[in-house]
Every structure is written in structure tokens, then in C-alpha cells.
Amino acid sequence: MESKRSVSATLAAVFAALYAVGVLVLAPISFHAFQVRVADALLPLAILFGWPAIIGLAIGALVANVFGGLGPIDIVGGSLANLAAGYVAWRVTLNRGRSWVFAAVGLQVLIVTLVVGTYLSYLFAMPLEIGWVAVMVGSIVAIGFLGSVLLHATSSQRIVMLLTGRGITVYGRQTGARKHPTKE
């Protein structure tokens, strides 16, 4: 049991670090009203990795936004957006298989768009609709396109077998992994 917790904590830390570094390295396109947060491509991986990815990506957003300079609204709002987007996508696809992935990723785009677009419209003093459109375009590119490609590549049988062989839980019928992670 302790080993499983260690693996989950390590995986969450890896997600947090990847997200924070991805945002900060690409800061010129990560912290404006019109942004493409390439690190958001990691969000769909919450579908496969569950809580470690959900928590890690929320912490990664918190860390990145501390250094982003947009203030407490961005620090809290971005973290909550990632937390909600990861959790909703994971729950939507849990026990439902591949046919729900498109809807789950679409919900992630929608959640990030509404939360981040709303507070960015306030921070940059622009109309709400412009804030939503600005974030939606970047989210479609990062989460919808890049994230879907990353999710597809990561959910290949070969990679899933490699990860599960290392003690990492991978969820979803499409991978043949556990169907009820809450009953572990």
C-alpha cells in the first residue's frame, strides 16, 4: 500500500513539474488574454492517470501562475480550472471507454474556457465574450488537438503495459485497466 502511495505521489509531482515548466518555458504565449498554454495538452492525461494527474496538474498551474505575474486570481483560478477539468474528464470516461473521450476533452476545453476566460476578461479589462473566445482558441489547440494526440499515444497498449508494469495505475476500458479505482 505504501509503495502505491509513493508511486502516486511521484506521478503527481512529475505532472506538476511538467506542467509548470511547460508554462514557464513558453511564458510569452502562456500569460496573455490570447494564449496557447501548450502544457494544457497534459490535461487529457487525467483520463488515464486519475488523481495523480488531476492533483499534479492543479499544483503545476498554481506553481506556474505564481511566477506568471497576473496575481492571486490567476493563481487560484487557474489551479481550480485544471482541477475541475481533470476531475470532470476522468469521471466522464471512467467505466465508459473510448467513446466518451471526445466529450470529456470537449468538457475540459469548456471548463478552462469559462473559468480562465472569465477572470482574464476582468484582469485585462475586456468584454467577457472576447475573454472566452481568446482562451477557447488556445484551449482547442492545446487541450483539444495536442492533448488528444498525446492521450492517444499514451493509451497505446504498449505504453500502458510499460506503465502498469512499473506500478502505475492506468484507467479506462480502452486500456484494459481497472474499472473501479475507488475500490482499490
- At 166 the pLDDT is 86
The C-alpha cell 475573454 sits at 131
Per-position pLDDT tens, the chain of length 184: 568 889 999 999 999 999 999 999 999 999 999 999 999 999 999 999 999 999 999 999 999 999 998 999 999 999 999 999 999 999 999 888 778 999 999 999 999 999 999 999 999 999 999 999 999 999 999 999 999 999 999 998 999 999 988 888 998 644 444 444 433 3
Is the pTM value of this prediction over 0.85? yes
The C-alpha cell 499514451 sits at 154
Residue ranges per domain, the chain? 2-28+39-183
- At 96 the pLDDT is 81
Provide the CATH topology of domain 2-28+39-183: Arp2/3 complex 21 kDa subunit ARPC3 (1.10.1760)
- At 183 the pLDDT is 36
